[in-house]
Structure 1
Amino acid sequence: MAPKVLVSDKLSETAVQIFRDRGIDVDFLPDVGKDKEKLAEIIGQYDGLAIRSATKVTPTILEAATNLKVVGRAGIGTDNVDKEAASKKGVIVMNTPFGNMITTAEHAIAMMFAVARQIPEASESTHAGKWEKSKFMGVELTNKTLGVIGAGNIGGIVCDRARGLKMKVVAFDPFLSEEKAAKMGVEKVELDDLLTRADFITLHVPLTDGTRNILSAENLAKTKKGVRIINCARGGLVDEEALAELLKSGHVAGAAFDVFAEEPAKENALFNLPNVVCTPHLGAATTEAQENVALQVAEQMSNYLLTGAVENALNMPSVTAEEARVMGPWIKLADHLGNFAGQMSDEPITAINVLYDGVVSEMNLEALNCAVIAGIMKNVNPDVNMVSAPVVAKERGIQISTTNQDKSGSFDGYIKVTVVTAKRERSVAGTVFSDGKPRFIQIKGINIDAEVGAHMLYTTNEDVPGIIGALGQTMGDMDVNIANFTLGRSDAGGEAIALLYVDAPVPAEARAKLAELGLFTQIKPLHFDVA
């Protein structure tokens, strides 16, 4: 059956048509996002939800979204989506960070020009029939120093445009390397240095605990007298009250804000101050940008629902369509290994260690880790998936570690999962053969070669004669057909294991009969999702 998507905000018809062209069943109900009761009533029908800013994806909506797999936000900001609740529910949250980069960067440049030349006030004065030519004395941008806080996607475009205006650009960004800065033609500096040198300061960072009030009262006091400040990124990055006081005192010559700590901004400390330019969050508001993000979100959601490709997700590692194709069998293997380890662990897990060897070590390890964790956590909560499992593991205080290494054995690549509890460690390893089928190749350090089946039986015993007969006879007596039978041992007379792939679940009576024989130290039924 084709995936079903609800478009609950106003997206372009072209974007809606993308879903249809990709074979996805889509309902275009652009006003339902404003009706939370109606949305909650119908959301259970859908695999995907495409939104802008009007739809609020709350825990209540997510609770009703019994089939939902992905929420796609046409735009950057996802404040209207409860990402923590979505992650716990196993729903991927995507945005479109690149569709409106140029538009937002251009708006910042436009705001910088506006505040440099006092264009809004001069326009209002002229419309009023005044001719106050001497009142609006501006400043040039040429040869001025622009301080860019955040030189990522949008900030990088602003840097490029500013250099085209013959400005000197200094950038503060902890993730900006010296090499990248040199390539961009900007000077990488610390924040205090930027504050004291910049004639204009523009912000291009997300709002996080680390960036909230990055231009605090204390930092604003460090700025150069006559500085002009532009914020087209996020409200909350600047202490607006402190900035208002510095504007009144004349220390700050002007400000241009497109975003505010509280939106919609009906009142604000910056309103009605001289040489303060304000716009109502217009950074992405161009025809081109709105169309771009709509098309982008439709493509991203379609790719995920049809191929498993994950692009621009905020709560899941990105996986390209090519990676999804190549990694599919390895992701399934990672899930099986995690599931095996989880089913074998009857004590609280404190740590999960994953080793990637050979070809698999060069793949998307973040995504594979999510699959391993999901496999393990299924035994705690059957509803977890690759999105929600890391959240569940974190809540339980489980430490995750990853090691990758070059090919070290006879297989082109393999994955080894070790779970640690307060009492013991358990490990299981597997690989993917050329037929694309996952195989178990080692359990507790004992080499084996076992297919993965929906129903399996795992036993441990001392290496003595009669084990094969006991297992075969008991399964036969209980009318359980064995599809595959794998044995392994540490050494002659040492510890041995058996892994049986059977056609149906092993009944409790069969396990009781095996236990009565006194040959086995462990008898464990296992179940795997091999669909």
Structure 2
Amino acid sequence: MSRPGIALAMHPGRTEHVLPDRLLDRLESLGRLLDREPLQTFADERARRLLSEMEILITGWGAPYVGRDVLSTAGGLKMIAHAAGTVKGLIDEDIFRAGIAVSHAAEANAVPVAEFTLAAILFAGKQVFRFRDTYVADRNRDRTHPMQRLTIGNYGRTVGIIGASRIGRRVIELLKPFNFKIILFDPTLSASECAAIGVEKADLDTLMRSADIVSLHAPSLPSTQHMIDAQGLALMKDGATLINTARGAIIDEAALLATLSTGRIDAIIDVTDPEIPEPASAFYDLPNVFLTPHIAGAVGLERTRLGEMAVDEIERYLTGQPLEYAITLADLDTIA
């Protein structure tokens, strides 16, 4: 039996550490790794040669669009293992209709996002950023000592999770060792299903009104666009913190910036809409905003989890086992 051809398609500058040598060696043991240098286009002669020989394609960040034109060249294509999160905007629906197995590594990317969120929640509860700014500005502790008497800290606080996604559920698990009350808004879950994962079901208004810290983990869909609006933000407690590691479009950002400008709430923002705010955006300047450049997901060595998950899926496929992280055409309507 001939060994299946395996090709890579991703941007090397965006995917360093995804497939270190040990994983490339493992791919060599599973099939014929046609070229260790990833494709960045499907239109040149090298790409046409590799596509004609491959059965398995590993994609990643910066991969060219996998459309119907790829099918005409890659007649033997049987599986795509995406060594990153969402496949939306990367893999055409015709690929699924052609019966090609598709897998993604969103579960691996969820790990660092959940870890980032846990750190953000703990820092928000303890008002770490405000202490830091005050201490650095004063260069003494005249104001930070009295701040310790405020009703801050992480004991007995209420954390509101919006969306029981794979990341939302991981965050819930990470929070369990702490003395938090966890409430969840997710219309797809019943009260008993929420109780089974250790949280209390709440409607969105109740969550926004009750939580000391609100963390967003819903997918970006037409139905969730601007689900956090001016009305919801107005319900938040004075001194509460909003954390967004999901997608910027979930929040009405004009309403968020208007609320933040009052100083009434704080925000930890890793994602915005547009992805990079305009240079004049108040996100950069407001003292009650901690802004990061979409780094909650896998960076640096964390990216190796993505490659490991993709190679594991390829091994399952080649040994006749079901894929653990398969994506179907129907899934595209609900995944992020």
TM-score w.r.t. length of structure 2: 0.80
Which residue of 1 is the match for residue 229 of structure 2? 216
TM-aligned CA deviation for residue 295 of structure 1: 0.8
Cα–Cα, structure 1 residues 22 and 225, in superposed 2: closer, same or farther, change >3 Å?
Answer: same
TM-aligned CA deviation for residue 153 of structure 1: 2.8
Which residue of 2 is the match for residue 281 of structure 1? 294
- Quick check: 1:71 aligned with 2:84? no
Q: Which amino acid aligns with 2:70?
A: L
Alignment match of 2:217 (pick from 182, 196, 204): 204
Which residue of 2 is the match for residue 183 of structure 1? 196
Which residue of 2 is the match for residue 107 of structure 1? 116
Which residue of 2 is the match for residue 412 of structure 1? none
- Cα displacement string for residues 228-257 of structure 1 (whole angstroms, at most 9, x for unaligned residues): 111112231111221111011233x21111
Q: Distance in 2 between matches of 1:84 and 1:317?
A: 10
Cα–Cα, structure 1 residues 266 and 87, in superposed 2: closer, same or farther, change >3 Å?
Answer: farther
Which structure's CA Rg is the greater one? 1
Cα–Cα, structure 1 residues 195 and 65, in superposed 2: closer, same or farther, change >3 Å?
Answer: farther
Report if the CA contact (8 A) 1:149-1:202 is conserved: yes
TM-aligned CA deviation for residue 169 of structure 1: 0.8
Q: Distance in 2 between matches of 1:24 and 1:109?
A: 41
TM-aligned CA deviation for residue 213 of structure 1: 1.9
Report the 3-state secondary structure (helix = DSSP H, G, I; strand = E; otherwise coil) of the residue aligned with 2:248: coil
Cα–Cα, structure 1 residues 104 and 24, in superposed 2: closer, same or farther, change >3 Å?
Answer: same
Higher normalized strand content (fraction of residues): 1
Report if the CA contact (8 A) 2:241-2:266 is conserved: yes
Greater length-normalized contact order (CA 8 Å, ≥ 6 residues apart): 2
Alignment match of 2:271 (pick from 250, 259, 265): 259
TM-aligned CA deviation for residue 133 of structure 1: 5.8
Cα–Cα, structure 1 residues 126 and 140, in superposed 2: closer, same or farther, change >3 Å?
Answer: closer
Give unpaired runs (5+ residues) of structure 1.
319-531
Which residue of 1 is the match for residue 4 of structure 2? 3
TM-aligned CA deviation for residue 314 of structure 1: 2.0
Q: Which amino acid aligns with 2:222?
A: D
Cα–Cα, structure 1 residues 120 and 61, in superposed 2: closer, same or farther, change >3 Å?
Answer: farther
Q: Distance in 1 between matches of 2:130 and 2:236?
A: 25
- Quick check: 1:18 aligned with 2:31? no
Which residue of 1 is the match for residue 157 of structure 2? 144
TM-aligned CA deviation for residue 120 of structure 1: 4.8
Report the 3-state secondary structure (helix = DSSP H, G, I; strand = E; otherwise coil) of the residue aligned with 1:263: coil
Cα–Cα, structure 1 residues 226 and 118, in superposed 2: closer, same or farther, change >3 Å?
Answer: closer
Q: Distance in 2 between matches of 1:5 and 1:110?
A: 38
Alignment match of 2:51 (pick from 35, 44, 52): 44
Q: How many residues align?
A: 315
TM-aligned CA deviation for residue 21 of structure 1: 2.0
Report if the CA contact (8 A) 1:40-1:60 is conserved: no
Report if the CA contact (8 A) 1:73-1:95 is conserved: yes
- Cα displacement string for residues 394-415 of structure 1 (whole angstroms, at most 9, x for unaligned residues): xxxxxxxxxxxxxxxxxxxxxx
TM-score w.r.t. length of structure 1: 0.53
TM-aligned CA deviation for residue 203 of structure 1: 1.2
TM-aligned CA deviation for residue 82 of structure 1: 3.4
Report the 3-state secondary structure (helix = DSSP H, G, I; strand = E; otherwise coil) of the residue aligned with 1:262: coil
Which residue of 2 is the match for residue 248 of structure 1? 261
Report if the CA contact (8 A) 1:258-1:280 is conserved: yes
Report the 3-state secondary structure (helix = DSSP H, G, I; strand = E; otherwise coil) of the residue aligned with 1:109: helix
Q: Distance in 1 between matches of 2:70 and 2:37?
A: 18
Cα–Cα, structure 1 residues 132 and 62, in superposed 2: closer, same or farther, change >3 Å?
Answer: farther
Q: Distance in 2 between matches of 1:20 and 1:36?
A: 22
Q: Distance in 1 between matches of 2:58 and 2:36?
A: 9
Cα–Cα, structure 1 residues 242 and 22, in superposed 2: closer, same or farther, change >3 Å?
Answer: same
Cα–Cα, structure 1 residues 43 and 25, in superposed 2: closer, same or farther, change >3 Å?
Answer: closer
Q: Distance in 2 between matches of 1:180 and 1:195?
A: 21
Q: Which amino acid aligns with 2:269?
A: F
Q: Distance in 2 between matches of 1:270 and 1:48?
A: 43
Higher normalized helix content (fraction of residues): 2
Report if the CA contact (8 A) 2:127-2:153 is conserved: no
How is 1:300-379 mapped onto 2 (pairs within 5 angstroms)? Answer: 300-305=313-318, 307=320, 309-315=322-328
- Cα displacement string for residues 34-70 of structure 1 (whole angstroms, at most 9, x for unaligned residues): x564475455232222122121325376356433332
Report if the CA contact (8 A) 2:68-2:92 is conserved: no
TM-aligned CA deviation for residue 147 of structure 1: 0.6
Q: Distance in 2 between matches of 1:226 and 1:125?
A: 16
Q: Over aligned residue pairs, what C-alpha RMSD do you find?
A: 3.1
Give unpaired runs (5+ residues) of structure 2.
332-336
Cα–Cα, structure 1 residues 133 and 85, in superposed 2: closer, same or farther, change >3 Å?
Answer: farther
TM-aligned CA deviation for residue 72 of structure 1: 1.7
- Cα displacement string for residues 94-136 of structure 1 (whole angstroms, at most 9, x for unaligned residues): 2123223332211001122334445456556766884466269
